[in-house]
Amino acid sequence: MVASHDLQEPLRKIRLFTDKVLTNDGLHLPEHARQDLERVSLAAGRMQLLVRAISEYPQATNGNFEQGSADLRVLLGSVKQDLWQELLQRDAALHFEGEPMVMGQAVQLRQLLFNLVHNALKFSSPRRPPSIRIVNRIVAGKDVLQAGLVPEAEYFHISVADNGIGFRPEYNEKVFQLFVRVHSTQHFPGNGVGLAVARRIVEHHRGRIFADGQEEEGARFDIYLPRTLPA
């Protein structure tokens, strides 16, 4: 795919030259400069993986979806590395509990978590430090009926809840629409893409995602990913 190659080439050069500087001059750099270059290289590497995954996306939608297992703790650790500055500046708390393993494509699931955590930080309340709680559990039967899912199947139910500014309940569906924003760009910059991508990733995994917002109280996103499907 030409577009994928065009994106990969500058990323490859970013990694090449940052790694070259680290190898040749790393010992002579201040510690903070060396760490910044390492973060640049890691971020470029993750972007390469994401571009590759996006370029392969049509195959998945055509039924060639191949999934493995992913550890949410590892993925969240990687997300924390990317968002360490925002987490530190806002004195944010990020908690995870429950079942660590899920079925899916790790690169895309990491992007899903990144988008949701970044969204929680971006729309945090100025009156309190952000608190983001992520819980994963296995559900079936009556616990999935209200989500319109197959009760005979098992699902990973991942909830991402925050204490930010939230949004009115009538926007629960609208927040997933591409380029749609429910808050002023003057106070909360963004492009209205993050949650649309999150939904696309979930649907790519044959799952569903729901939003539940309460203005000035926070928001919760409930994700259901298949663990087993009925025969």
What's the pLDDT tens digit per position in 32-80? 998 999 999 888 887 777 676 566 544 434 444 567 899 999 999 999 9
Q: Report the distance separating Cα 94 and Cα 156, nearest Å.
A: 20
Q: Report the distance separating Cα 168 and Cα 28, nearest Å.
A: 53
Check: pTM over 0.75? Answer yes or no.
Answer: no
- Of residues 47 and 181, more confidently modeled: 47
Range 107-124 average pLDDT: 92
Q: What is the CATH number of domain 69-228?
A: 3.30.565.10
Query: Encoding tokens for residue 37?
Result: 């270059």
Whether the Cβ atoms of residue 50 and residue 82 lie closer than 8 Å to each other = no
pLDDT at 130 over 90: yes
187: pLDDT confidence band, cut at 50, 70 and 90?
low
Nearest Cα to Cα of residue 114 among 50, 184, 174, 59: 50
Domain boundaries, the chain: 2-55, 69-228
Query: Encoding tokens for residue 195?
Result: 């949650």
Quick one: pLDDT at residue 184? 52
Quick one: pLDDT at residue 177? 82
Helix, strand, or coil (residue 148): coil
Mean pLDDT of the chain: 84
Quick one: pLDDT at residue 52? 66
Q: Report the distance separating Cα 87 and Cα 213, nearest Å.
A: 22
Whether the Cβ atoms of residue 119 and residue 183 lie closer than 8 Å to each other = no
Range 210-226 average pLDDT: 93
110: pLDDT confidence band, cut at 50, 70 and 90?
very high
How far is CA 66 from each of CA 8, 94, 165, 206, rounded to the nearest angstrom?
A: 23, 30, 37, 12
Q: Could you tell me if residue 106 is left (phi over 0), alpha (psi between -120 and 50 degrees) or otherwise beta?
A: alpha
